[in-house]
Structure 1
Amino acid sequence: MAKVTLVFALLSIALGLAGYFGTGAQHVTALIPTWFGVALGVGGLLAISPSESRRKLFMHINVTIGLVGFVGGAIEAVRGYVHAKSAGLQLDEIALASKLTMTGLLLLYVVLCVRSFIAARRSGKV
């Protein structure tokens, strides 16, 4: 799962950079997926270890980071949508798409991690 973590880290970093530079580098908050990707990348590199206890520790930290990113992204996507609609403002579709993409990526990551944890427990490796 450490290598999968690195893939999701790169995807999150790319999403944040694309959002930031794709909108003219106007809003630094577009880089939020990048920071989640950096955190996952560091954790993924630390999880590549022959020590089973170290690998388990960092993968649990990584899935927690993914879960926090998923929940935060979902809340912000809903909050931004509701705020724009209730205030009669124009919806920022690029920001909403970026938030939903981050939310979807991190949801998929968390689901894959949980499935991996369950499979490891059932196989007796834990």
Structure 2
Amino acid sequence: MAKLTVAFGVILIAVGVFSFIITGHHAPTSLIPAFVGLLLAIFGALANSEDAKKRMLHMHIAVTIGLLGFLGTAKSIVDYIEMTQGRQFVRPAAVEEKAAMAVLMLIFVLLCVRSFINARRARA
């Protein structure tokens, strides 16, 4: 899971930087996914350890960041669906970016939860 966490971090960094470039470098809030991705990449790298306690701690921190990232952007999925049906938004690129982040964070959290369940079953 540590390598997968780093991969999700890199993808989020790419989403944030790409969005920042697309918006013409004038919307620093478009870098929010990059900051979240940086945190995920850091904790994923820290979780790549032989020490089980450290690995569990860092992965639980990473999944908490992922869950907060999802909860903070979940409404944008509905906004994106409404946008595809014709609703106008002032900043459509922001809606698309937040929706992408929400989907990525949801997938990440679900994969982490599945991994945590499997690890607990393996210990029992």
TM-score, normalising length: structure 2: 0.88
1:53 is aligned to 53
**In the alignment, residue 109 of structure 1 is paired with which amino acid?**
F
**Runs of 4+ off more than 4 Å:** none
Residue by residue over 1:15-60, the C-alpha shift from the partner in whole angstroms, topping out at 9 and shown as x without a partner, is 0000001111110000000000000011011101000000000000
Q: Equivalent residue of 2:74, what SS?
A: helix
Q: Distance in 2 between matches of 1:90 and 1:114?
A: 36
Using the alignment, how far apart are the partners of 2:47 and 2:56 within structure 1? 7
Report deviation, 1:90: 4.2
Within 5 A, what are the aligned runs for 1:25-64? 25-64=25-64
Deviation at residue 78 of structure 1 after TM alignment: 6.9
User: CA 1:24/1:109 → structure 2, altered by over 3 Å: closer, same or farther?
Assistant: same
Q: Distance in 2 between matches of 1:13 and 1:60?
A: 20
The residue identity in structure 1 corresponding to 2:92 is E
Partners of 2:32 and 2:16 lie apart in 1 by 6
Q: Secondary structure at the match of 1:11?
A: helix
Amino acid corresponding to residue 118 of structure 1 in structure 2 = I
Aligned partner of residue 25 in structure 1, secondary structure: coil
Q: CA RMSD in A?
A: 1.8
Identity %: 44
Q: Distance in 2 between matches of 1:78 and 1:102?
A: 9
What amino acid sits opposite 1:3 in the alignment?
A: K
TM-score normalised to the size of structure 1?
Answer: 0.87
Hey, what's the Cα distance between the residues in 1 that align with 2:77 and 2:109?
Answer: 20
C-alpha separation in 2, matches of 1:19 and 1:73: 15
Classify 1:106/1:19 alpha carbon distance in 2 versus 1 (closer, same or farther; 3 Å): same
Q: Distance in 1 between matches of 2:4 and 2:11?
A: 11
Q: Partner of 2:109 in structure 1?
A: 110
Q: How does 1:79-90 map to 2 (within 5 A)?
A: 81=79, 90=88
**What is the aligned residue count?**
117
